[in-house]
Amino acid sequence: MKLAHVPFTPRYPPVNLALIDEMENLGPVIDMKVGDLTRELTPQLYALCGAGPRSSLRVLRHGLAVTEMAVSDLPGSPTAVWAVKKALADQYMSYIVVSFVNATIVLSIGETVVEVTDSGLLGDTATLSVSNLGDAGLLQIHPGGLRHVLPDKRINVWRPAGRKTVTKCAVNNRQVVIALTGGELVSALPSSLARCCCHCVPTPVMMFSG
C-alpha cells in the first residue's frame, strides 16, 4: 500500500480555530500543604508544582472568583441582604434589598447600583424576608406584617391583630408561614394574603427551616 504525500504548512495564528478556554496543569505536584495561612477562616491549598525553571508555588482557594462591578456605601451594618427579581421569569436579578435594625433600603441593579424609592417595599422598618411570590410580584415580611407588591405596583398589606408582631417566617414560591408573638402561626397563599388563616400553637415558634 502506497501512501500519498500531501504537503501541509501550518498557519499561525490559526484562522479556523478560536481559543475558548484553557486549564492550567498543576502537575507534577512535588509537595502540598493545607492551612489557613492568610486567616481567611477557610484553609488554602499550597502546592509546589513543576521542576527547574518551570517550577511554581500555587495557592488554591475554595469558592468562585469575585469580580467587583459596583460599590455602594451603606449607612450602617446590615442585618440581612437579599437579591430578587421583579418577576420570577426574569433572567437577572433586579433589586438588592438590604435590611438594618430599623430600616430597609432597596438598590436597583443595572449598569450601576443605585438606591431607589419606587420599589413599593417598606423602608422605615427592618425586613425579615423578601422574595418573589410565584408570578404575583414581591413579598416583604417585616415585624409589622406582610407587604405584597403586585407587578402593576398595587400593594396589599396584612397586619397581625392587636399588638402582635412577626418574629419568624418561612417562604417559598407558593406559600407563606409566619410566627407571631404569643405562639401563633399564620399561613397564607399568594391569592389570599388578605385573608390569612391563623393556627394557634401552645409554645412560641423559635425557628423555621426548609
Q: What is the mean pLDDT of residues 23-27?
A: 75
Report if residue 48 sits inside a domain.
no
C-alpha cell at 201: 400553637
Report if residue 192 sits inside a domain.
yes
Report if residue 123 sits inside a domain.
yes
Q: How confident is the model at residue 194 (pLDDT cuts 50, 70, 90)?
A: very low
Q: Which domain holds residue 195?
A: 80-200
Report if residue 134 sits inside a domain.
yes
Report if residue 152 sits inside a domain.
yes
Q: What is the CA radius of gyration of the chain?
A: 27
Report if residue 138 sits inside a domain.
yes
pTM of the entire structure? 0.62
Report if residue 49 sits inside a domain.
no
Report if residue 148 sits inside a domain.
yes
Nearest Cα residue to 142 out of 120, 170, 122, 156:
122
- Write out pLDDT tens, residues 7-19: 777 777 777 888 8
Q: Which amino acid is at 165?
A: T
Nearest Cα residue to 143 out of 173, 163, 116, 171:
163
Q: How confident is the model at residue 46 (pLDDT cuts 50, 70, 90)?
A: very high
Q: How many structural domains compose the chain?
A: 1
Q: How far is CA 204 from CA 36, 110, 163, 169, 183, in A?
A: 41, 42, 16, 13, 4
Taking the C-alpha atoms of residue 163 and residue 160, their distance in angstroms, rounded to an integer, is 8
End-to-end CA distance of the chain: 70
CATH at residue 174 = 2.130.10.10
Q: What is the mean pLDDT of residues 182-205?
A: 58
Q: How confident is the model at residue 174 (pLDDT cuts 50, 70, 90)?
A: confident
